[in-house]
Amino acid sequence: MLLKKISLRHFILLLSAFLFVGCASKSTLRDDVKRKIIAGHILKAEKYIKKQRPDLAVKEYENILAVDSLYLTGYIFLGDYYLNEERYDMAERILQRAVQCGIRHPDVWMRIGEAQFHTKKYNEAIRNLERASGADSIQTRSQWLLAQLYYTIGNPAKSKLILDSLLRRTDLPNADAIRQFHRQLTLSPVKSVALNTAPIRRKEFALLLVTILQPDTQTNSVAVPRDLSPVDPYYSYCLGALKSGYLELLPDNRFYPEYAMTRRNLIYYLFTWLPQLKKTARYEPAAPFQDVSPDDPHAEAVAAVYALGLVTPMRSGYFGLKEPVSGNEAAAALIKLKNLLDQSQ
């Protein structure tokens, strides 16, 4: 009966007091006692960090926060620890505690946004990262994350705008990565991948395959892979490559868009196109390769792409099947194949 007499306003006040009790319950300790306890835990935490045992330092910072719930450094350390461990939900939970305790700091908002980015809470991530950037203009990390986030959700123009602003700075951390990303946005998607000397990801190969070879992407119907997101800029290219039949789903109905391809993968996919050439033959390699035995399942594919000049050995006697393949190499091979296909028409 007593609960019925409590107004909604009083109920909310009581609930707020209950939620924030963890922030205020330790405030009765004298400041000198609090400082002494905190100093002891900090000393232990620093020793663990020097020993490269941040997992043990976590407990010390948790103990500090039990004494002083407004200790910003503790939240930052714990947030960074769980972000590095890719335990994004835990990182967000810890940092949200800081906000609940009244801490309004761009370093906290930025890390909350980063955790939300990785758990695909894109709208919330944008809100927190923009809050961090607005509160502190030197928050390059939050702006860098924002640029990546806007690109992920299909807004490259906004992403480029943020990168343009970042690149005006002279003290830019991660400058090489930011410049590379900016270059990708400035170039067309195909040129960006084709000029890249880093290992090509499967989704980037799908882009090149669909754009350069232009297969029929409407013939087959396929289930949408569980690891492909419609907001990924490569989404339509991955689906197109699957529908063409020239890329396949991998185990567990996954596409593995971030998988870094090897030369073996490239040779296999090139070989699947060769039946479209008017002249077909069984190719024999001009020279043996120490990493391609006669009974290797890819031996004929290697012989074919080598004979046609689509892919060359990495060095004399070594084809390099297990080596990573760059965007530049993949694009060159596909363009050569496209020319052969056109000539055979």
Quick one: pLDDT at residue 178? Answer: 86
Query: Phi then psi for 322, rounded to 5 degrees?
Result: -90, -5
Which of the four pLDDT bands, split at 50, 70 and 90, describes residue 171? confident
On the question of pLDDT at 13 being above 80, the answer is no
Q: What is the mean pLDDT of the chain?
A: 84
Average pLDDT over residues 49-65: 94
Lowest mean per-residue pLDDT among 134-138, 165-169, 228-232, 249-253: 134-138
Which carries the bigger pLDDT value, residue 333 or residue 191?
333
H or E stretch including 47?
helix 31-50
| pTM of structure | 0.53
- The confidence score (pLDDT) of residue 187 equals 67
Mean pLDDT of all residues in 49-54: 94
Model confidence at 216, in pLDDT bands (50, 70, 90)? confident
Asked if the model's pLDDT at residue 11 lies above 50, the reply is: no
Tens digit of each residue's pLDDT (9 = 90 or more) over 311-326: 999 988 899 999 999 9
pLDDT band at 9 (very low <50, low <70, confident <90, very high): very low
Residue 20 above 70 pLDDT? no
- Residue 285: the pLDDT is 55
> Which of 58-62, 126-130, 136-140, 250-254 has the least mean pLDDT?
136-140
- pLDDT-derived band at 87 (thresholds 50, 70, 90) equals very high
* Residue 250 token pair: 């991998």
Cα 177 to Cα 146, 244, 264, 326, distances in angstroms = 14, 33, 28, 17
Name the pLDDT band for 28 (thresholds 50, 70, 90): low
Give me the mean pLDDT over the 278-293 stretch. Answer: 68
Q: According to the 3-state scheme, what is the secondary structure of the chain?
A: CCHHHCCHHHHHHHHHHHHCHHHHCCCCCCHHHHHHHHHHHHHHHHHHHHCCCHHHHHHHHHHHHHHCCCCHHHHHHHHHHHHHCCCHHHHHHHHHHHHHCCCCCHHHHHHHHHHHHHCCCHHHHHHHHHHHHHHCCCCHHHHHHHHHHHHHCCCHHHHHHHHHHHCCCCCCCCHHHHHHHHHHHHCCHHHHHHCCCCECEHHHHHHHHHHHHCCCCCCCCCCCCCCCCCCCCCHHHHHHHHHHCCCCCEHHHECCCCCECEHHHHHHHHHCCHHHCCCCCCCCCCCCECCECCCCCCHHHHHHHHHCCCCCCCECCECCCCCECEHHHHHHHHHHHHHHHHHCC
pLDDT at 81: 96
pLDDT of residue 170: 76
Residue 158 has pLDDT above 50, yes or no: yes
Domain borders along the chain are 192-343
